[in-house]
Chain A
Amino acid sequence: MTSAIEVRDLVVERGKRRVLRGLTCAIPRGSVTGLLGPSGSGKTTLMRAIVGVQRVRSGSITVLGEPAGAPPLRRKVGYLTQAPSVYADLTVRENARYFAALYGYDAATAERAVADVGLAGAGGQLVGTLSGGQRSRASLACAIMGEPELLVLDEPTVGQDPVLRDELWKQFHDLAGKGTTLLISSHVMDEAGRCERLLLIREGALIADDTPAAVREKAGTDDLDEAFLRLIRAQEVAA
């Protein structure tokens, strides 16, 4: 399997803080990869670097065969920021149509994306009047439309109820089945089990890059929560 994303020795500094310290990893095409770690561990920074909006100190990132942020990638990569980045003073449908136009898709594609995130009934509602969970789904609709080759989703399921979360994860796997590569961050460990691969980062360094089964086996427990704790402790002892 070829890689959709290859990160080599990535170092990122924000202010005086070294957020990523020489991180190396590869994300296979057509997979759902979970990016996990405590808050402040560098998940968002890594995602920003992959979509090409983060200034990096050193190292390289190749995305779909191009350097991260290269112009040809701008129609192939969908990006969901952690805070919903849609226009509060536009309706859900108007937001979706605008982003569809930016990616080169028509209004029907926008409409499908709105329905895919379960907002078909709220298409005419102003985003500013939606609940927090609906608002982040409106933002998600603008990222997933048109089945991009790579989707980078920063905590897409935060604030969603269990039923919706389940539906969203099913959609993520559907997209992967059609060839989309998904990188999804979360700090909820029960979501980790739904990924095909896991990247666990802590304080800007990678401490696991494997399938959930392998992570469980390595840590000697079936509970992923517990597995991550053990891996972190093992790393602390080694250091």
Chain B
Amino acid sequence: MSSRILGATIVRILRQLLHDPRTIGMLVVVPVLLLALLRFMYDDQPAVFDRVALVMLGVFPFVIMFLVTSIAMLRERTNGTLERLLTTRLGKLDLLFGYGIAFGVAAAVQATVAAAMAHWLLGLDTAGSIWLVILIAVVNAVLGVALGLFCSAFARTEFQAVQFMPVVAVPQILLCGLFVGREQMAGWLKAISDVLPLSYAVEALQQVGANAEPTGTLWRDLGIVSGCVVVALVLAAATLRRRTA
């Protein structure tokens, strides 16, 4: 890895994003609109809104960054830039961390706007600090990036890449404890939920919702999600081959 090449790669990816104002607009505005929708749905049940909106603040960046990254990486593979990059001094980790950091920055903007709007405009109530919510949302976004980088290796076309969303993201959303509490699940469902990283991200958010001070469980959960990020990045690195058939 080289800090100069990593830096150039981060700047390059952010520039690509800046040339696409519509994508930036949607990244920032769509989560806020969906949260506003939730707010009106649960107009007379503020406690339910607090519970669901808090989880959604973690789910949105995960899903959106997963999709954006798998398409971006697939483009690198199909338009020949990846092959060209790998004939230069760029290391695999320069590219993977470049995506992780650049989209992490985009996710930080997205999460800050969404959390701030939810907190101050829509009246989302959490016992703990809203900044912890933003931190967890950013870690979730980076998890989405890492899984997207990995999954893009198994798609040949954009159509296929999009199909990985229901495969990778939806089961995690269903089993994260939002719809059915994790403790109420059948044993085998709970076992699956236990190995899905989003379950820990959601638990961390629920810890912020219920406790004024950051708890040990919260830090443990964040540690687990970060560990999953590292594992996904290592797996993604294994899918990047300088030599192909």
Contacts and interface: CB of A to CB of B under 8 A. Distances in A.
Q: Do A and B bind each other?
A: yes
Interface of A: 13-15, 51-55, 69, 71, 74-75, 77, 79, 81, 83-91, 94, 97-99, 101-104, 126, 142
A98 B8 contact: yes
Contact of B15 (A13, A74, A94): A94
A104 B7 CA distance: 12
Contact of A90 (B19, B85, B88): B19
A48 to B, nearest CB: 8
B242 A69 contact: yes
A86 B19 CA distance: 15
Interface stretch (B24-32, B75-83, B137-145, B207-215): B75-83
A55 B15 CA distance: 33
A89 B16 contact: yes
A95 to B, nearest CB: 9
A86 B12 CA distance: 12
B45 interface: no
Contact of A102 (B15, B80, B88): B88
Given A53-B243, A90-B12, A90-B19, A103 B80 contact: no
Contacts of B20: 89
Contacts of B244: 53-55
B80 A81 contact: yes
Contacts of A126: 19
B167 interface: no
Contacts of B81: 85-87
A71 B81 CA distance: 18
Contact of A77 (B11, B83, B87): B87
Contacts of B12: 87, 90, 94, 98
Given A81-B83, A90-B16, A103 B89 contact: yes
A71 B2 CA distance: 14
Contacts of B80: 81, 83-85
B186 to A, nearest CB: 46
B89 A75 contact: yes
A52 B88 CA distance: 11
23 contacts: A52-B87, A52-B242, A53-B86, A53-B243, A54-B244, A69-B243, A74-B89, A79-B87, A81-B83, A85-B79, A85-B84, A89-B16, A89-B20, A90-B16, A98-B8, A98-B9, A99-B88, A101-B5, A101-B8, A102-B8, A102-B88, A104-B89, A126-B19
